[in-house]
């Protein structure tokens, strides 16, 4: 079976579906191919912090109604150490805020929007191969329901994640990759308990990092830094709550409400960037091109930024017969990516405990947190990066 579309999109995660939606609003046809089942894609527990610009884009695209109704607006975060804690006021420093809205919920909104618009989203495909990416007529072959098929397109968008086929299609001589693997992970717990605070708490304790987050007023998401050798089964709920409590400021520890975990997992941390993000008529977006530690809440937001740029470039190609934005896509996207990678790397280093760091390094971190707590200019820089750099 052979079909034809303008843009073939690999991956039905947030970046792939959002790209399809934005193109559809402009009258550009697309087909989305996804390896996993829809239920699997919608069940993945991921990020929950939406930058100011991400919320603006979703609202403009008609996707922000439920996030506005059910999301939690946050105008600051608390940063803590073993010694003290302080709040960074986003609204006062930047005039902006962030929204807590789980990626799982955004994924539901995107699937619903594509269904209502009659978008073509094919799940549970296999044997996906991109052909002639550097030519004028790329195509994607795949198998679905035991039947071989091909979709011919003008362009291919690789939104298929870190392990997808899109980046692997780039010639080795063209691709440059940069990576930093961190020597620890995050043990995350989801619990049906009220959040310990109405805003996020980032704690850089001498025992290791901890984060208090939430999905809604009755669903909390907590993390503690752990060894990469740890196994989830070794962490009972009681052990997790004890360790989290030990790493929090005293006031937060005293009001922490605990309960049975409904999900528990360990996430390794890494920074990864691939350059360029274009090979011929194949473009990378989101995790296919870059990975950041979750410390700075940048992963989903970077994917949205990529997609916004790519959609604008593709629409310009069809509306104006111009390739200028397509030619600029990789360099423009990577400029923002590297700035976000820098911020996530900085936050990760500042708040986590490294086994091999000496007393000098630990005292420097204490000094930097103290400086951040006492300097409005430093807080303004932190807030600007956290709420999202201008697009």
The tens digit of pLDDT for each residue in 306-350 reads 999 999 999 999 999 999 999 999 999 999 999 999 999 999 999
Q: How confident is the model over 95-114, as a mean pLDDT?
A: 95
Q: Return the residue matching tokens 């091109």.
A: 289
Q: How confident is the model over 16-21, as a mean pLDDT?
A: 98
> What is the C-alpha separation between 345 and 69, in angstroms, rounded?
33
Q: Tokens for 165? A: 């086929």
Q: Which residues are catalytic?
A: 74, 202, 294, 298, 386
Residue 380 carries which DSSP code?
Answer: H
Domains and CATH numbers, the chain: 2-49+101-179+270-347 (3.50.50.60)
Q: Return the residue matching tokens 């011919």.
A: 152
> What is the C-alpha separation between 236 and 261, in angstroms, rounded?
9
Report whether pLDDT(47) > 80.
no
Name the packing angle between helices 324-351 and 299-320 (round to 10°). Answer: 170
> What is the C-alpha separation between 249 and 258, in angstroms, rounded?
16
In three-state secondary structure terms, 275 is strand
Find all residues with CB under 8 Å of 232, minimum gap 6, and list them: 187, 264, 265, 266
pLDDT band for 391, please (50, 70, 90 cuts): low
Report whether pLDDT(148) > 90.
yes
* Average pLDDT of the chain to the nearest whole number: 96
pLDDT tens by residue, 60-74: 999 999 999 999 999
pLDDT band for 22, please (50, 70, 90 cuts): very high
Please tell me the predicted confidence (pLDDT) of residue 178.
Answer: 98
């Amino acid at each position: 079976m052979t079909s034809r579309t303008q843009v073939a999109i690999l991956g039905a995660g947030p970046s792939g579906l959002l790209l399809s939606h934005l193109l559809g609003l402009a009258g550009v046809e697309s087909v989305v191919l996804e390896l996993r089942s829809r239920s699997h894609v919608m069940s993945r527990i991921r990020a929950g912090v939406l930058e100011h610009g991400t919320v603006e884009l979703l609202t403009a695209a008609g996707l922000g109604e439920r996030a506005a109704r059910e999301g939690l607006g946050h105008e600051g975060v608390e940063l803590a150490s073993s010694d003290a804690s302080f709040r960074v006021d986003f609204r006062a420093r930047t005039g902006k805020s962030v929204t807590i809205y789980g990626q799982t919920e955004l994924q539901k909104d995107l699937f619903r929007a594509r269904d209502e618009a009659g978008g073509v989203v094919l799940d549970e495909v296999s044997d996906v191969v991109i052909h002639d990416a550097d030519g004028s007529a790329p195509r994607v072959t795949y198998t679905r329901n035991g039947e071989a098929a091909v979709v011919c397109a003008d362009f291919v968008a690789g939104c298929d994640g870190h392990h997808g086929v899109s980046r692997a299609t780039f010639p080795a001589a063209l691709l440059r990759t940069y990576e930093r693997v961190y020597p620890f992970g995050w043990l995350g717990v989801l619990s049906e308990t009220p959040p310990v605070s109405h805003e996020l708490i980032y704690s850089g304790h001498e025992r290791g990092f901890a984060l208090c987050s939430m999905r809604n007023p009755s669903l909390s998401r907590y993390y503690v830094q752990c060894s990469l050798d740890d196994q989830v089964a070794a962490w009972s709920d009681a052990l997790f709550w004890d360790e989290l409590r030990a790493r929090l400021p005293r006031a937060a520890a005293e009001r922490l409400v605990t309960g049975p975990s409904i999900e528990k997992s360990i996430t390794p941390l890494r920074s990864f960037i691939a350059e360029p993000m274009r090979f011929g008529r194949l473009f990378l977006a989101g995790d296919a091109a870059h990975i950041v530690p979750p410390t700075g809440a940048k992963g989903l937001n970077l994917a949205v930024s990529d997609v916004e740029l790519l959609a604008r470039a593709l629409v310009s190609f069809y509306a104006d017969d111009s390739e200028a934005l397509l030619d600029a896509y990789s360099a423009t996207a990577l400029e923002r990516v590297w700035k976000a990678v820098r911020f996530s790397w900085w936050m990760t280093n500042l708040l986590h405990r490294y086994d091999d760091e000496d007393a000098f390094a630990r005292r420097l971190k204490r000094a930097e947190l103290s400086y951040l707590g006492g300097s409005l200019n430093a807080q303004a820089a932190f807030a600007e990066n956290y709420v999202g750099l201008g697009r």
